[in-house]
C-alpha cells in the first residue's frame, strides 16, 4: 500500500472541496442571515490541511487498484469529516456527530436528516447541505462508470464496455476523459431542471437546491414539508422526470444526447427499470384511488412521485406514505432495495443486479429439468459472463448479510423492530426517509449517537458498492 | 412425463397413509371421546382411492428424475388433501380450508395451527395431528438424504456421499436401503425421547405426541399453553436436547450410533450449527436475565429452549418471546431463516447453505485483493465444487424472492406489516409460530381463507426445498 500516494490524492480532494465552499460563502454574502464566519473558518482549515497533504507527499506516482480502493473510501470519509465543519462552527446547536451524519448523508446522496426544522437554518448552510448532494453525485457517476468497473467490483465489470472514452489501461487519463463527458451530461440536466423549476414558480435558491437533491438522487429539501410545500402538480412531475433520469445510466444519456435516442430502448436494464416504475405506479394509482385520494389524477401524481422517489433512492416526499395501505408500503420498501440503475446517481442494489439475479434463477430452473443443456444468460443482446453473474450473486449475498447485521445492531439501541430494519434499508440503500419512526414526516434526530455513527458507516458502505469499503477491512488488503 | 407411473406410486402412498389411520382409530377406541366414526370413513375413502389408483396403473415402471419431482410434490399435496378428512368429518366445526392448512402444517412438520383450543379436540384427532408430524418427518429425512441429492437440487448434491447405503444408480433399491437405516435412527430417538418424557411425569399420550412434534421439528402440542403447561425444567431440557438432535443430519447420527462419535465433531455444518445455538443462547441468557427472569438458571432454560425451538424450526414455546427485547426477537427471527442442518427434519434455509454462503463471500473478498489467486472453498476437510456452491446461491436467491413475493401477497389480506412478513417466514421455513398476530400465544385462525391456501403452498414449497415444487410450474417440465 502506497499510503503517500493515497494522501496526495486526498490532499487534492480536500483543496477542491475547500474551494467549493466559496459558493456557499457567496450565498451567505447575498442573504446575510448567518453562517459566513463558519464557512470562512472551514474554508481556511480544509484548504490548509489539503495543501499540506498535497505538498508534503510526492506527486505523480502511478496509482494501483489497491490504492484506488483506499482513495475512494477514505476520500468519502474525509469529505464528510471536513464537510461537517460549517454545521458545527455556525453555532446552530448541531453536535459533530449530527453534523457528520448530515454531511455523510449529503455526500453519499442519501438525504437522511437529523434536522426537524430545516427552514431555521441560514441560507448558506441550506445551500451547502444540498450542494454536498450534487458534489457526491458527481463522484458517484465517476465511481460507478469509470473506477469500479476497472476494479471489478460486484459484477460492475459488466459495464466496462459501456463507458465512453479511450480504452487506456492506466487509470488517470481514462478517468479524466470519462469524467468530462459524464459531468457534461450531469450539468446539462441540472441546468435544465433548474430552469423548469423556476418556470414552475420556485425561486432560484429553492430551484437550485432541489435540483441538487434530484440529480444526485439525494433528497434534502429546503422546506420542512418537503415537496408538498410547493403544492404544485407541475413541480412534482418535473422532479419525477428528473429523478427518473438521475436514476438511469449516465452513459445512456450521453449516447442519447449525441443523437442515439434508441440507446434507451436497446438497454435491457433501462427497459426493466421503466417497467418496474410503470407497474408499481399503476398498482398504487388504482389501489390508493378510492381509499386515499379524491381523483385518479391526484392518485397518479402522488403514486408516480413516491414510486420514483423511493426507487431511485432520492427520498423526496410530498405525502405521508406511512398512511397508505400496507401493501403499498411493502412495495415501496421493496423498491428501496432495488434502487437505481448502474451508472446512475441512485443507490440500492441496482436494477441490473436484480435483473441478472432473476434471469440467473430462471436459467437454473431450466437446468434442473435439462441438466445437460447449456443455457446462456443474456442481458439484452449481450451475454453475461459467468464471472460477472457470480459477482452479482456475491454482491446480493453480502448486501443481505450487512442488512441483517446492521438491523440487529440497531435493535440494540432500543428502537422498535420496523424502525431498526428501516433505518438500515434507508441508509445502506442511500434513500433517506423510511418507515417506522423515520418516516417521511420524521427524522433521524432521536437515534442515539452510536447508532448515527453506524448508520453513517452504512451510508458509506452502500454508496461505495460495499466491496470498496469491505476490502479495507480485509487483512489481505494491507499485506503487500 | 409418465403420469401413470406417478399415479401408481401415489396410490401406494395413499394406501399406506390410510393404513396409518388404524393407529388413531385405536386411540379413539381407548379414550372413547369422539372421532371414531370420522376416522373409519376417512380410512375407507383413502384406502379405496389409493387402491384404485394403484391397481388401475401399470406396476414396475422405472421412475426417472422428472417423475421423482412429481411424486414428491403431488405426494405431499395428496397427504394433506386426504389427511384433512378426519378433521372435517369429526364435525368439530373445522372447515376444509382450515383442515387442509392444519394437515399440511402437520405433514410439512411446520406446526402452524388454526386451533385456539386444542384441548377441546378428541384424543384421536389430537393424536392424528401430531402423528402427521412424525410421518412427515420420515418423509423429509428420506427426501433430503436420498432423493434430492440425486436430483441435484439447490446444492444438495453436496450430500451424495454423505448417505450410507450402496451406490446404485437406480432410485428404488438405493432409497429402500437408505430408508431402513435412517428410519431406524429416527425410531430409536423417538423411543428414547418418549421414555425420557414419561420419566418426567408426562402421560404416555402426551409423551408420544410431543415426541412426534420434537423429532419431526413440527411443534404441535396437545396443550393450549404449549410446553409451559408442564412447568418442568427437566421436560424443557429433554425436549431441547431432542430438538437439537432432530435438527442435525441423520446420516451423522447413524454413524455416531455405529460407534463413530467423532462424526459430529468432524462435520463442519454440525460444528457451525452448535456454535450458533451456543452463541445466541448465551447472548439471550445474559441480555434477558435482569429484564425478564429471576435467575440465570431460568434465563438459560428459556433462552436455550426457544433458540433451539426456533432455529430447528420446531416452534414449541414455553414463554411469550414477543415480550422479550427487540434485539432478542430479531435474533430469533434470523434463526428462523437459518433453520436446521441438511439431512435433518428441520426446515429453513439450512445451516450448511448459510455456512457455504459466508465462506463463499469471504473467498470473493480475498479475490478482489488478489484477482489471480485460486482460493478453494472448503467445507471442513472436503472442498466444495463450484456447481454445488452456485446451487446454494441460487437457492438463497429464490428463497428470498419467494419470501418477498409471499409477504407482498399477505399484505393484500389486510394484515399489518410485521405479521405479513412473519407468516411467510414461519410457513416457508416450516416453523409454526412467528411474531405479530401469529405469535406463540396466538394462532393462524384469523388469516383469510385465501391467505391460508397461500401459506399452505408456502409450507409445501419450503418443505420440499423450493425447487422440487417450482419445476412443476416450469413449462420445460411438462415437455418431453
- Residue range B266-277: average pLDDT? 95
B329, B365, B472: best mutation site toward chain A, by most A Cβ within 10 Å? B365
Cα angle B238-B244-B245, degrees, rounded to a multiple of 5: 90
Confirm if B395 and B349 have CB atoms less than 8 A apart.
Answer: yes
Confidence of residue A162 (pLDDT cuts 50, 70, 90): very low
Determine how many CB atoms are found less than 10 A away from the CB of residue A477: 19
Q: How confident is the model at residue A69 (pLDDT cuts 50, 70, 90)?
A: confident
User: What pLDDT is recorded for position A394?
Assistant: 82
Selected residues 28-87 of chain A with any CB under 8 Å from a CB in chain B: 65-66
Contact status, residue A27 vs residue A125, Cβ threshold 8 Å:
no
**Cell, residue B357:** 454462503
| β-bridge mates for residue A382, sequence order | A379
Measured distance between the N- and C-terminal CA atoms of chain A, rounded to whole angstroms:
7
| pLDDT value of residue B449 | 96
Return d(Cα B379, Cα A28) in angstroms, integer: 62
Q: Which residues numbered 136-165 in A keep a CB inside 8 Å of some CB on B? A: 151-153
| Strands B378-379, A382-383: pairing kind | unpaired
Give dist(CA B108, CA B137) in Å, integer.
8
Mean pLDDT for all residues in chain B: 89
Q: How many CB pairs (< 8 A) connect A and B?
A: 118
CA distances from B106 to A8, B180, B459 (A): 66, 23, 10
Note whether A327 contacts B: Cβ–Cβ < 8 A.
Answer: yes
Percentage of chain A exceeding pLDDT 90: 69
pTM: 0.91
pLDDT at B150 over 70: no
B114 has pLDDT over 90: yes
A469 contact residues in B (CB cutoff 8 A): none
Residues of chain B found within 8 Å of residue A401, distances taken between Cβ atoms: 358, 361
pLDDT at B300 over 60: yes
| pLDDT interval class at B157 (50, 70, 90) | low
Q: What is the mean pLDDT of residues B365-370?
A: 73
- Tell me which chain A residues have a C-beta less than 8 angstroms from the C-beta of B371: 65, 152
What average pLDDT score do residues B52-56 get? 93
pLDDT for B271: 95
Rounded Cα distance, A317 and A236, in Å? 10
Chain B partners of A371 at a C-beta cutoff of 8 Å?
65, 152
Inform me whether the pLDDT recorded for A249 exceeds 70.
Answer: yes
| Cross-strand partners of A383 | A378
- Chain B residue with minimum CA distance to A393: B393
**What percent of chain B lies above the pLDDT cut of 70?**
93
Contacts of A258 (CB under 8 A, 6+ apart): none
pLDDT confidence bin for A390, thresholds 50/70/90? confident
What does the pLDDT average to over A295-314? 97
Cβ–Cβ below 8 Å for B411 and A325:
yes
Q: How far is CA A161 from the centre of its chain?
A: 23
Q: Which of B400, B349, B406 is nearest to A396 (CA)?
A: B400
Task: Find out whether A289 and A299 touch, Cβ atoms under 8 Å.
Answer: yes
Contact B467 A412 (CB under 8 A): no
- Distance between alpha carbon A252 and the CA centroid of its chain, in Å? 18
Which of A280, A326, A374, A411 to mutate to test binding with chain B, by most B CBs within 10 Å of its CB? Answer: A326
Return d(Cα A375, Cα A391) in angstroms, integer.
18
Which chain B residues touch A331 with a CB distance below 8 Å? 408
pLDDT at A165: 42
pLDDT confidence of residue A142:
83
Q: What is the nearest CA distance from B257 to chain A, expressed in angstroms?
A: 35
- The span from the CA of A440 to the CA of A226, in Å, is 9
Across the range A198-227, mean pLDDT stands at: 96
Range from A34-38, A473-477, B80-84 carrying the lowest mean pLDDT: A473-477
- Three-class DSSP category at B63: coil
Per-residue burial over A182-196, b if 16 or more Cβ lie within 10 Å, else e, is bbebbeebbebbbeb
Residue B199: half-sphere exposure toward Cβ, Cα within 13 Å: 11
Give B226 or B166, the one with higher predicted confidence. B226
Section A8-18 average pLDDT:
94
Question: Quick one: pLDDT band at residue B470, thresholds 50, 70, 90?
Answer: confident
Long-range contacts of residues B15-19, Cβ cutoff 8 Å, at least 24 apart: B15/B46, B15/B47, B15/B50, B15/B51, B15/B54, B16/B50, B17/B46, B17/B50, B17/B79, B17/B82, B17/B83, B17/B135, B18/B42, B18/B43, B18/B46, B18/B47, B18/B50, B18/B82, B19/B47
B338's enclosing H/E stretch is: helix B326-338
Res. B315: pLDDT tops 70: yes
Residue appearing with cell numbers 421439528: B217
pLDDT of residue B163: 45
In chain B, what residues touch A70 (CB-CB under 8 Å)?
A: none
ipTM of the complex: 0.89
Are B330 and A371 in contact (CB < 8 Å)? Answer: no
* Helix ranges (DSSP H) in B108-203: 123-142, 148-151, 171-199
Most confident residue range from B46-50, B436-440, B473-477: B46-50
User: pLDDT digit string (tens) for B403-434?
Assistant: 999 999 999 999 999 999 999 999 999 999 99
Quick check: B330 and A365 CB within 8 A? no
Average pLDDT for residues A115-131, to the nearest whole number? 95
What's the CA gap between A358 and B408, in Å, rounded?
Answer: 17
B369 interfacial to chain A (CB closer than 8 Å): yes
pLDDT at B158 over 60: no
Distance CA A388, CA A158 (A): 6
Cα distance between residue B61 and residue B6, in whole Å: 10
* A366/B474 Cβ within 8 A: yes
pLDDT of A169 higher than 50 = no
Measure the CA–CA gap between A92 and A226, rounded to whole angstroms.
21
Q: Among A46-60, A441-455, B199-213, which is the least confidently predicted range?
A: A46-60
Q: For position A297, what pLDDT does the model report? A: 95
What gap in Å lies between CA A439 and CA B275, rounded to an integer?
Answer: 38
pLDDT at position B154 is: 57
Residue A399 grid cell: 448486501
H-type helices in A339-465, by residue range? 351-369, 386-411, 417-428, 449-463
Among the partner-chain residues B65, B411, B467, the one whose CB lies closest to the CB of A327 is B411
Q: Which of B369, B409, B421, B454 is best to mutate for the A interface (most A CBs within 10 A)?
A: B369
Among B280, B288, B331, B417, most A C-beta atoms within 10 A, so best to mutate, is B417
Amino acid at each position: 500500500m502506497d499510503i503517500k500516494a493515497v494522501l496526495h490524492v486526498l490532499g487534492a480532494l480536500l483543496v477542491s472541496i475547500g474551494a467549493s465552499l466559496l459558493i456557499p460563502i457567496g450565498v451567505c454574502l447575498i442573504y446575510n442571515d448567518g453562517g459566513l464566519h463558519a464557512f470562512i473558518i472551514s474554508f481556511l482549515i480544509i484548504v490548509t490541511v489539503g495543501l499540506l497533504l498535497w505538498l508534503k507527499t510526492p506527486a505523480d506516482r502511478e496509482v494501483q487498484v489497491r490504492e484506488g480502493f483506499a482513495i475512494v473510501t477514505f476520500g468519502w470519509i474525509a469529505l464528510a469529516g471536513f464537510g461537517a465543519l460549517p454545521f458545527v462552527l455556525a453555532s446552530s446547536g448541531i453536535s459533530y456527530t449530527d453534523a457528520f451524519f448530515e454531511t455523510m448523508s449529503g455526500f453519499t446522496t442519501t438525504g437522511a436528516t437529523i434536522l426537524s426544522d430545516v427552514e431555521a437554518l441560514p441560507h448558506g448552510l441550506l445551500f451547502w447541505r444540498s450542494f454536498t448532494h450534487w458534489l457526491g453525485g458527481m463522484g458517484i457517476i465517476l465511481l460507478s462508470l469509470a473506477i469500479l468497473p476497472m476494479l471489478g467490483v460486484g459484477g460492475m465489470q459488466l459495464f466496462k464496455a459501456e463507458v465512453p472514452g479511450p480504452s487506456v489501461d492506466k487509470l488517470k487519463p481514462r478517468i479524466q476523459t470519462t469524467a468530462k463527458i459524464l459531468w457534461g451530461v450531469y450539468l446539462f440536466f441540472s441546468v435544465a431542471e433548474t430552469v423548469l423549476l423556476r418556470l414552475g414558480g420556485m425561486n432560484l435558491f429553492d430551484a437550485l437546491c432541489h435540483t441538487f437533491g434530484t440529480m444526485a438522487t439525494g433528497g434534502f429539501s429546503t422546506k420542512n414539508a418537503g415537496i408538498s410545500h410547493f403544492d404544485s402538480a407541475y413541480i412534482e412531475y418535473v422532479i419525477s422526470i428528473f429523478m427518473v433520469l438521475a436514476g438511469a445510466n449516465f452513459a445512456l444519456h450521453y449516447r442519447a444526447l449525441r443523437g442515439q435516442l434508441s440507446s434507451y430502448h436497446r438497454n435491457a436494464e433501462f427497459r426493466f427499470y421503466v417497467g418496474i416504475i410503470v407497474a408499481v405506479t399503476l398498482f398504487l394509482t388504482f389501489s390508493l384511488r378510492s381509499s386515499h385520494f379524491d381523483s385518479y389524477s391526484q392518485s397518479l401524481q402522488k403514486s408516480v412521485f413516491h414510486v420514483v422517489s423511493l426507487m431511485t433512492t432520492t427520498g423526496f416526499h410530498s405525502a405521508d406514505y406511512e398512511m397508505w395501505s400496507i401493501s403499498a408500503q411493502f412495495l415501496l420498501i421493496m423498491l428501496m432495495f432495488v434502487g437505481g440503475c448502474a451508472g446512475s446517481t441512485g443507490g440500492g442494489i441496482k436494477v441490473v443486479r436484480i435483473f441478472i439475479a432473476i434471469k440467473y434463477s430462471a436459467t437454473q430452473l431450466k437446468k434442473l429439468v435439462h441438466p445437460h443443456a447449456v443455457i446462456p444468460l443474456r442481458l439484452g443482446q449481450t451475454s453475461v459472463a459467468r464471472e460477472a453473474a457470480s459477482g452479482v450473486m456475491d454482491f446480493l449475498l453480502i448486501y443481505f448479510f450487512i442488512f441483517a447485521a446492521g438491523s440487529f445492531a440497531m435493535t440494540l439501541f432500543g428502537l422498535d423492530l420496523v424502525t431498526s430494519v428501516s433505518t438500515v434499508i434507508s441508509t445502506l440503500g442511500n434513500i433517506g426517509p423510511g418507515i417506522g419512526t423515520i418516516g417521511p414526516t420524521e427524522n433521524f434526530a432521536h437515534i442515539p449517537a452510536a447508532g448515527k455513527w453506524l448508520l453513517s458507516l452504512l451510508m458509506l458502505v452502500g454508496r461505495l458498492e460495499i466491496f470498496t469499503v469491505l476490502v479495507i477491512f480485509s487483512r489481505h488488503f494491507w499485506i503487500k
